[in-house]
A and B are shown apart, each in its own frame.
Chain A
Amino acid sequence: MPKWFSPTAILCGLMFVVSPVLIARSPDESAMGMVYKIYYYHMPSAWMFLLAPLVCGVSSALFLARGRAEDDRRAWAAAELTVLFGALTLITGPLWARRAWGTWWVWDARLTSSLVGWMIGWAYLILRRYGGPGSDKLAAGVALFGAVNVPFIFISVNYWRTIHPPTTVVPKLPVSMGVPLWFCVTAFLLLFILLMTMRLRLEVARTRLDALYVALDE
């Protein structure tokens, strides 16, 4: 592991321990009361859920252009993070929606395109798992289409009539709500980087092990 890994992991862990305290101290929202506070975890995980397919798509494009294994590994790790943070987003969202909107799910553009993005992440992983030889390039093709979906998810709330809050909400937040939010965003970003680093290291070790097996056979 790189030198910065352990301190960063400790910092990230501490931030996740402190975050509930900050969230509890933040003021209640005027219309929704306390329910809205799931937002402090929902939005950071949603942002990571947008970041991951972009990392996956860019790495895949680089892999297709240059053919380096490291780009492919990064794409694979990012696809797994897409599925992970997508799951967090799609669990916290309906929990909030049940109390705020009175329903678990609505088929609007934001929710539908998020679900589609999550499913493309799954499709990528299914292909890697069951595609057999040559599926690395194939999966890279899938990842490009997954990345194209991201801007669509992001802008969807601003162009379609929906009950999901638009993207303009964030910059207008008062300081008392902004501080815990950005604190949580930082914690989630650190988690993203840590998981990515660990996953890449695992994949490098696996490649090395495979090479050793081959060398042993020969």
Chain B
Amino acid sequence: MFARTAWLIFRKDLTVEVRSRETIATTLFFAVSAVLVFAFALVKEGRVVADAAAGILWIAIAFSGTLALGRTFERERYTDTLRALMLAPSDRPAIYAGKLAAVLAMILAAEVVLVPLVAFLFDAAFLKRPAMLAGLLVLGTLGFASVGTLFAAMLVRARSRDMLLPVLLYPIVVPVIIAGVQGTAALLQPAFDPAVVRFWLLLLVTFDVVFVVLALWTFEAVMSD
């Protein structure tokens, strides 16, 4: 029942997205714009500041991810379907899981374009170790999206939600972003040490477990009224 509800919500969100392409288009465009701003800020005399690529990639993910998060629930609010979702005779955590999966899919889709772009513009050898990079991206994005989905859902009914989402989200997900940046930067070192990357991967797994468990419990309690 849990898996089925989550799957149906995931599929619904993806169907809406595939038909409108609204979130992915705006998210991706914003991410690319952010990368361009960094290109002007962090390139000096044609050379990139060392290790900048990892930071640029993760900041672009965090900024554009916030846009995607706001959008998924704004859509539900606009069509007044969030109430219908909440009234549905299903587990609240399953609704959260479905929403999280959809947000995760959208941000990961944007990353598929973003990673080669940053690698190309900032001369970073991201793709030399694709498995580890994929691990860092998926785990980091999951940590970011798990907290983000919860807060975006909670803020749907709040005043000034657009302003509050980044205010609440960034302090909490900063550890995830740090682990992502450090892990990705470790991938790019000339003297590559897999143990360092594994350490950051392990830390990301820890954050993900804590955040997802806490979010599942909080979602149930916060969304019930």
Q: Find B168's partner among A116, A127, A137, A144 (CB 8 Å cutoff).
A: A127
Nearest A residue to B147 by beta-carbon distance?
A: A145
In the bound complex, what is the Cα–Cα distance between A127 and B221 (angstroms)? 18
Task: Report the minimum CB–CB distance from A86 to chain B (whole Å).
Answer: 12
A2 within 8 A of B: no
The count of chain B contact residues (Cβ–Cβ below 8 Å) is 25
Q: Tell me whether B164 and A130 are in contact (CB under 8 A).
A: yes
| Docked-complex contact B210 and A148, CB < 8 angstroms | yes
A123 to B151, CA, bound (A): 12
Query: Which B residues are CB-close (under 8 A) to A145?
Result: 147, 172, 211, 214
Q: Binary interface profile of A, 144-175, with partner B (CB < 8 Å = 1, else 0)?
A: 11101100100000000000000000000000
B-contacting residues, A13-50, CB 8 Å: none
Q: Are A65 and B221 in contact (CB under 8 A)?
A: yes
Assuming the contacts A132-B160, A138-B154, A145-B214, asked whether A64 and B168 have C-beta atoms less than 8 A apart, the reply is no
Report if A92 contacts B (CB, 8 A).
Answer: no
Which residues of chain A are within 8 angstroms of B168 by Cβ–Cβ distance? 123, 127, 142
- Contacting pair A116 B174 (CB below 8 A): yes
Residue B41 at the chain A interface, CB threshold 8 Å: no
Contacts of B157 in A (CB 8 A): 134
- The answer to whether B222 touches A137, judged by C-beta atoms less than 8 angstroms apart, is yes
Contact residues, B137-161 vs A (CB, 8 A): 147, 150-151, 154-155, 157-160
Most A CB within 10 A of own CB, among B167, B171, B172, B225: B171
Q: Is the CB of A64 within 8 A of B218?
A: yes
Known contacts: A116-B174, A120-B171, A123-B167. The answer to whether A148 contacts B158 by CB under 8 A is: no
Question: Is B116's CB within 8 Å of the partner chain A?
Answer: no
- Decide if A126 touches B210 in the complex (CB within 8 Å): no
* A34 shortest CB reach to chain B, Å: 35
A113 in contact with B222 given A132-B159, A137-B154 (CB within 8 Å): no
B160 close to A138 (CB less than 8 A): no
Of all chain A residues, the one with the shortest Cβ separation from B178 is: A112
Decide if B175 touches A116 in the complex (CB within 8 Å): yes
CA distance A65 to B217 in the complex (A): 10
Instruction: Select A141's contact among B167, B174, B222, beta carbons within 8 Å.
Output: B222
How many angstroms from the CA of A146 to the CA of B164 in the assembled complex?
A: 16
Instruction: Give B158's nearest chain A residue, CB to CB.
Output: A131
User: Would you call A132 and B172 a contact (CB within 8 A)?
Assistant: no
Q: Top 4 closest A-B pairs, CB basis? A: A132-B159, A64-B221, A119-B171, A141-B218
List 28 A-B pairs, Cβ < 8 Å.
A64-B221, A112-B174, A112-B178, A113-B175, A119-B174, A123-B167, A123-B168, A126-B167, A127-B164, A130-B164, A131-B158, A132-B160, A133-B159, A137-B221, A137-B222, A137-B225, A138-B151, A138-B154, A138-B222, A140-B218, A140-B221, A141-B150, A141-B154, A141-B218, A142-B151, A146-B172, A149-B175, A152-B175
Chain B interfacial positions (CB closer than 8 Å to A): 147, 150-151, 154-155, 157-160, 163-164, 167-168, 171-172, 174-175, 178, 210-211, 214, 218, 221-222, 225
Known: A116-B171, A132-B160, A133-B159. 9 other contacts (CB 8 A): A112-B174, A120-B172, A131-B164, A137-B221, A138-B158, A140-B218, A141-B222, A144-B218, A145-B147
